[in-house]
Structures are given as C-alpha cells and as structure tokens.
Amino acid sequence: MKLCCIIAFLSAMMCAAAAGQSSAPPVLESGSTVRHHKVAVADPSLPPEVLQAETDLENKNYVRAEPLLKQVLERDPKNYQAWFDLGFLYSATARADESINAYRRSLDAKPDVFESNLNLGLMLAKMKQPDAERYLRAATRLKPSENAPRNQEVAWMALGHLLELTNAEQALKAYRAAAIQMPNDPEPHLRSASLYQAQNQFAEAEHEYRQVLALDPKATAALIGVAQIFARGNRFAEASDVLRQWVSQDPASAPAHAALARTLAADGKTDAAISEFQAALAIDPQDRPSQAELAQLYN
C-alpha cells in the first residue's frame, strides 16, 4: 500500500468530515450577516418606521421593510440604524453591491458599531474586495450589542478565514483569539490544525486536533487528521488505533473501514486489512478502489 495513496484517501475523508461536522457559524462561508439586537421596547430616538421595519426583518418580510427604511433615510440621510437595516435587507435579498454601500453609509454616520463593521467586512470578503480585512479587524476591537463572546468569535473566525491564503501566521493568531472567546467550541482548533498541517507543522497540527478531540471526542475530522499525521510519519499502528475509534463510532461507514484497512495493510496486518476491506465492501459494494486493493491483498 503506497503511502501517497493512504494520505490522499485520508485527506479526502477529512475534507468531507470537516464539511459535515463544522460548527462554524454559517456567516463564515456564505457571507450571511448578523443583526443588531431587536429593540424590545419602543425607543423614542428611533423613528416608528425603523421599529416596524425591524419587526418585518425578523419575519423576513423584506418587501414591506424596504420602503419603510427608505422613507426614514429620505428624511434623515444620516440615520445609521436605518442604513444598517437596509444593508442587512440587501444582503438577505442577494444585492451585494447595494448592501456594501448601505453598510458604508451606516459606518459614515456611526463608525464604532461592531455589527456594521463585521457585516461590511463579511460582504467585502464575499465579493473578494481588498478592504475586507480593515473592517473585520475593526469589529474585533468593538463590543457586540448582544451575545458578545459568540459574535466576537464570529469576527475572529471570519478574519482568520480571510487571511489563511495570504498570511497564515496572522490567521492562526485570529483563530487563537476566537478560541479564547468560545473555549468550548472546537472549530477554531480544527481550523488551526488544518492550517498547521498545510504548513507541514505536524506537531502543532496534532496538538490542535487533540484539543478538538478533548472538546468533542467524536469529531471525525480530527480523528482522521491525527491518523493522517501518524501515517505520514510511517506510524501505521498508531494510525490504525485512531481509525478504530472512527469505526467504533460509525460502524456503518464504508470509508471508515476502508481507511482502517489501508493503514493495516501498510503495517503488514494483511488478514486484518482484508477483514476491513470486506466490511467496507459489504456496506458499499461499488467501492472500486477497495475492490482493487482487496484483490491485491489476496494476491
């Protein structure tokens, strides 16, 4: 069993597991944005149209909310709350350029609002515009209007995600800051582990995967990540031990059995590898790679 084949298979399985298990807020991938805390009691400083529009936004009644917000802005072009809500509305209705402009206008009127900076940064990142980092960093220095630790984590995670391809060191710092905000969330550690692994810093990656598993012992992506690091170092027995945990947690997973079969074969445990390939094929008889590798073991 070639090492490169084992690594490639585990890499594919890790990507699939990470996509299925990620606890990151959807904002990080989709460009979705966050809301201000809805006003619970009528605030005399807010126009009634804004209060009604916020209720409409909560109910996703964008058709009714939009003209109300525009009425307010015709009277008061510097109403930061109306601009913010309009930016959120435009984002929710797939009008990215209009959303960005509205958030900019909101920040022109009141620059020290966490949600406005975060949402503008997220929209700019979604549109791959260069000043996204500026606003995401600004958000990390401001206090959210509600649910502060979680929303601060969102800001730090978004910043880390943005920086991964251009400044890995700064991305890792952002993920560490996110972990401080929400210490029981494994996602910052999982993203850090993946980034360390991409940088060939395997000891650091293993440490982060272990942090994930301490928080979530059933985190498949972390189990596969540790197994991949062991396999890369020709530590096939240890890789097999880790993959047995995956099989134990998900005995109906053909990829789990196939992954374990590959590390067992690489470790010279032919009979055990055959058994695991057979288990994989009993679940997924159309698994051509497992069919081929099982045939090689018989020969």
pLDDT digits (tens, 9 = 90+) for 88-109: 999 999 999 999 999 999 999 9
Cα distance between residue 25 and residue 16, in whole Å: 18
Q: Decide whether 1-23+216-299 matches 26-168 in CATH topology.
A: yes
Contact yes or no for 227/203 (Cβ under 8 A):
no
Residue 224: count other Cβ atoms within 10 Å of its Cβ: 28
Instruction: State the pLDDT at residue 274.
Output: 97
CATH fold of 26-168: 1.25.40
- Give the largest Cα separation in the chain, rounded: 82
Cα distance between residue 285 and residue 145, in whole Å: 53
Instruction: State the pLDDT at residue 40.
Output: 34
Phi-psi region of 60 (alpha: psi -120 to 50; beta: other; left: phi over 0): left
Contact yes or no for 103/84 (Cβ under 8 A):
yes
Residue 189: count other Cβ atoms within 10 Å of its Cβ: 26
pLDDT digits (tens, 9 = 90+) for 222-247: 999 999 999 999 999 999 999 999 99
Distances (CA, A) of 54 to 45, 47, 119, 120, 184: 15, 11, 17, 19, 32
Q: Say yes or no to pLDDT of 36 above 90.
A: no
Instruction: State the pLDDT at residue 21.
Output: 55
Provide the whole-model pTM. Answer: 0.87
Which of these CATH numbers, 1.10.10.10, 3.90.226.10, 2.40.30.10, 1.25.40.10, describes 1-23+216-299? 1.25.40.10
pLDDT digits (tens, 9 = 90+) for 67-93: 999 999 999 999 999 999 999 999 999
Domain ranges of the chain: 1-23+216-299, 26-168
Q: Which amino acid appears at position 126 of this protein?
A: K
Residue 144: count other Cβ atoms within 10 Å of its Cβ: 20
pLDDT digits (tens, 9 = 90+) for 134-172: 999 999 999 999 999 999 999 999 999 999 999 999 999
Candidates 24, 60, 34; CA nearest to 117 is 34
23 token code pair: 């606890």
Is residue 38 very low, low, confident or very high in pLDDT (cuts 50, 70, 90)? very low
Between the two ends of the chain, the Cα-to-Cα distance in Å is 13
Contact yes or no for 84/106 (Cβ under 8 A):
yes
Q: Which amino acid appears at position 197 of this protein?
A: Q
Q: Which amino acid appears at position 40 of this protein?
A: A
pLDDT digits (tens, 9 = 90+) for 5-16: 677 777 777 777
Question: 114: which residues sit within 8 A by CB, 6+ positions away?
Answer: 139, 142, 143, 144, 145, 151, 155
Positive or negative CA dihedral for 130, 135, 140, 144? Answer: negative
pLDDT digits (tens, 9 = 90+) for 171-219: 999 999 999 999 999 999 999 999 999 999 999 999 999 999 999 999 9
Q: Say yes or no to pLDDT of 44 above 80.
A: no
Percent of the chain with pLDDT over 90: 83
Instruction: State the pLDDT at residue 7.
Output: 74
